[in-house]
Amino acid sequence: MKVSLISVIIGLAVQSALAAPKANKQRANSPLLIDPDAQPSLPSARVAQAAAAAAGLNITDVQGDILIGMKKNKELFFFFGIKDAATFKSKLSSDIAPLITPTVSLLPGSTPPNTAVNIAFSKTGLDALGVTDDLGDASFAGGQFTDATALGDPGTGNWVPGFAGTNIHGVLLLASGTVDDINDELASIQSALGDSVTEIYRLQGAARPGNQEGHEHFGFMDGISQPAVVGFTPNIHPGQMQVPAGNILLGEDQDATTRPDWARGGSFLAFRQLQQKVPEFDKYLVDNALNVPGLTAEENAELLGARFIGRWKSGAPIDLAPLHDDTDLANDANRNNNFTFDHPEIPGFDITTNQTLCPFSAHIRKSRPRDDFSPNESVVRPIMRAGIPYGPEVTDAETASQASSSDPSLERGLAFVSYQSDLNTGFRFIQQNWVDNANFFFGKNRNYVSLILANVLSGNLNSPGVDPIIGRDSSASSVAPADSDRVVSGSDPLDSAHLFTLDIDFVVSRGGEYFFSPPISALTGQLAQ
Ligand code: N7H
């Protein structure tokens, strides 16, 4: 049965009237963290400690960045090489380990440091320290440089030189309320480490200013949908994915891989510097605005952007607010994740064909397909996203020319960070098998979504295309060159067959590296020996 846009919207209005009461936020108490309403709040130190104790999790040994999400105000990534392993080990144990901020110190109710410090090591970094234990992750062992084309990058020509190779041994992550405080802390760390390390590259991130706090550079609120980790987040919001600690932390509950004992409570950190072409993205939306009756041209351009992402700029999901942004919905953590892409309450709605509400290609549907893998989201690929925007705001000159400046000091984007216990089933799987897979549902998981697949095969549906934001088809024998056409369907709510040809990469990979963020105890133990 065909369902009109209008009947779908009426069905949604009924659902919205039955919405749960608004969540009460527990505020973070430090200028080093932001806490926008749309993001899930952190548990208090007391509540998290009780949950952790019950689950056998030691959150005073887990580094602070891993579980708190995209909440840093200012954050510096300082990438280094180790020149003198013996001195570095000794300083790591005596001077650096005491500075490392555990999870519990960043939670409401605790006394946070002025500047939080975390540290993580690449495979070549562990090798340099003489730590050769197998951590059980082939992608980590191989490093990101050799993984570039598998991730859809058009080679490594656009990579920051420091990332192109295997010279980066580690990264220090410093977060604070001000860049000055970060620089002071870094200076004292550098003075402690002396010549045992050398700087390879640094990237300064910052939450965007004013009412854009928490929004990434295209303007969309980020960090809304994060997994609730058993033993850390006891209060789960409706629609939040609950995952065992072993999905994010090595050696914890339901981590199926054998790990060295000393690595328990650590996590793999995928870092990517992702440049965002903001004026070009905005121009594309205006030039290709939708044609939904009753909306202005500007609203039709905004709607196309929202359908590329799957959320409005406020963070409201289009699956619940299909035609207009809804800030109240966005800011209510009890509602802003409470959707599955399926709508049994709407008569005749068929999740396998109906893209009226959210396209199959939308960024959030590609990266978390929810009920497309029904029943009960059976294929879970949890990652804890912990990135931060970098670079300045768009200048007036860029807005006027509708093009990003070539001035390197004006580069902007997302310092993408995700934590997971297995790169190949976490970040890498999402990027390769869902985001970069133009056929998405044709993939290895065809049995889960066989109905959708059947619709595509029988010609009732177009191939969804790659994720319009970060997807680049990597299935061919060689990856397509930068800015080659990417074709996306489903983005027009009135005509899902309408194809959008994206002739520019809105997001450009500048490279990155895979790291292991060890438990704090390892900094004075295994890594210092
Ligand atoms: Fe995405 N964006 O603004 O377009 N992302 N992302 N991401 N992302 C999300 O729910 C964005 C990137 C995920 O559970 C939102 O938090 C940008 C990579 C996942 O429903 C927005 C870039 C990968 C989710 C963005 C970028 C992911 C998610 C909605 C790069 C992994 C949660 C807010 C410049 C391979 C999906 C939210 C869920 C959400 C944006 C990168 C994954 C607005 C600009 C590389 C799993």
When pLDDT is cut at 50, 70 and 90, the band that residue 339 belongs to is very high
Phi, psi of 522, rounded to the nearest 5 degrees: -70, -20
Stretch 284-294: mean pLDDT, rounded? 97
- Ligand 1 pocket member 427 (CB < 6 A): yes
Q: Active-site residue 222, yes or no?
A: yes
- β-sheet bridge partners, residue 192: none
Q: What is the mean pLDDT of residues 190-200?
A: 98
225 lines ligand 1 (CB under 6 A): yes
Tell me the C-alpha distance between 483 and 418, whole Å: 26
The ligand 1 atom nearest the CA atom of 223: 16
Average pLDDT over residues 204-227: 98
Residue 354 CA to ligand 1 center (angstroms) comes to 23
From the alpha carbon of 275, which atom of ligand 1 is closest?
A: 34
Does any ligand 1 atom lie closer than 6 A to the CB of residue 39?
Answer: no
Distances 528 to 64, 118, 389, 517, 523 between C-alpha atoms, Å: 20, 16, 33, 15, 6
State the pLDDT confidence band at 318, using cuts at 50, 70 and 90.
very high
Q: Is the pLDDT of residue 85 over 80?
A: yes
Look at residue 27 in the predicted model and tell me its pLDDT: 52
- For ligand 1, atom 39: residue with the closest CA: 364
333 lines ligand 1 (CB under 6 A): no
* Nearest-angstrom CA–CA distance, 459 and 365: 21
Residue nearest (by alpha carbon) to ligand 1 atom 20: 364
The two beta strands, 115-121 and 267-276, are unpaired
Average model confidence (pLDDT) across the chain: 91
CA of 365 to the centre of ligand 1 (A): 10
Catalytic residue among 37, 137, 153, 222: 222
Asked if 270 and 417 count as a contact pair (C-beta separation under 8 A), the reply is yes
Write the DSSP symbol of residue 145: G
Q: How confident is the model at residue 191 (pLDDT cuts 50, 70, 90)?
A: very high
CB distance 218 to ligand 1 below 6 Å: yes
Judge contact between 519 and 264, C-beta under 8 A.
yes
**In the chain, what percentage of residues exceed pLDDT 70?**
89
| pLDDT of residue 21 exceeding 60 | no
| CA–CA separation, 48 and 456 (whole Å) | 45
Going from the Cα of 195 to the center of ligand 1, the distance in angstroms, rounded, reads 38
Residue 20: what pLDDT?
45
Query: Cβ(336) to ligand 1 under 6 A?
Result: no
- What are the backbone angles phi and psi of residue 412, rounded to the nearest 5°? -135, 160
pLDDT of amino acid 109: 95
Contact (Cβ atoms closer than 8 angstroms) between residue 253 and residue 482: no
